[in-house]
Chain A
């Protein structure tokens, strides 16, 4: 069975966002590229590549923003018939990256508006961190990534 999120507190805000904004795909991930929640994906490999690309785009655009404006860009939008919106959501557990894909059934205005609500409900729902965050190391990255994907796609 495909699950929506690795951690249960993400489930309700994500479901509300997807229902309200009418998006096709949604992905919440750690800036390192670890998936935390997804909607609309059917294959673990697609989530894995989307996470890797989203994390890379976020890192590049944030750095570009810092160089141009002294602060990271707040969101990225691209596409035509199918569009992506990529933005950061800050919680008590640290910043997360949010990627969503939508078509003409929704719009950038709706996605931005409901993303603001999602960001607020996510921040309110986030429990305090249980332990100090450890740096993401090569040694444990793949293990954690596979564990999260297995949790989402039913092979845990």
Chain B
């Protein structure tokens, strides 16, 4: 099924090292649309990443830092990148050696396109 998110997710998954790209409903943590490589658990990633992003936004607000933009989590075997707002979060799962700069630019572009 092609949705209005499909081109955005396709552009993200084409980047080298990207394993999954998802658009997630921020309050519910449920994937609206996703493009996943084999072995990626979209439901779990959506639920946990949205929760993480919401908590990061709350923390930034509590610390008086204003709105949260691009967020990146570095793990042993890869990275989780997120960007979004109150309604939607764009989530990318990438390999550790992926080009984060390029992913960031694409995600900012995607966030603008979906705003």
Contacts and interface: CB of A to CB of B under 8 A. Distances in A.
Interface in A111-131: 112-113
Interface string A99-117: 0000010111110110000
Interface residues of A, number: 8
- Point out which of A108, A110, A112 has the most chain B C-beta atoms below 10 A from its C-beta: A110
Interface stretch (B10-18, B27-35, B77-85, B94-102): B27-35
A107 B43 CA distance: 12
Interface string B1-39: 000000000000000000000001101111000000000
Nearest to B41: A113
Given A108-B29, A110-B48, 17 more contacts: A104-B27, A106-B51, A107-B27, A107-B28, A107-B30, A108-B28, A109-B24, A109-B28, A109-B29, A109-B47, A109-B51, A110-B29, A110-B47, A112-B30, A113-B43, A113-B44, A113-B47
A4 B54 CA distance: 30
Per DSSP, are chain B's interface residues mostly helix, strand or loop, or mixed? helix
Interface residues of B, number: 14
A112 B25 CA distance: 14
A110 B51 contact: yes
B107 interface: no
Q: Which 10 residue pairs spanning A and B have beta carbons closest together?
A: A109-B29, A109-B47, A107-B29, A108-B28, A113-B47, A109-B30, A110-B47, A107-B28, A110-B51, A110-B29
A106 B29 CA distance: 9
A110 B45 CA distance: 10
Contacts of B54: 107
Contacts of A109: 24-25, 28-30, 43, 46-47, 50-51
Contacts of B25: 109
Nearest to B25: A109
A153 B25 CA distance: 39
Most buried by B among A107, A109, A113: A109
A107 B89 CA distance: 14
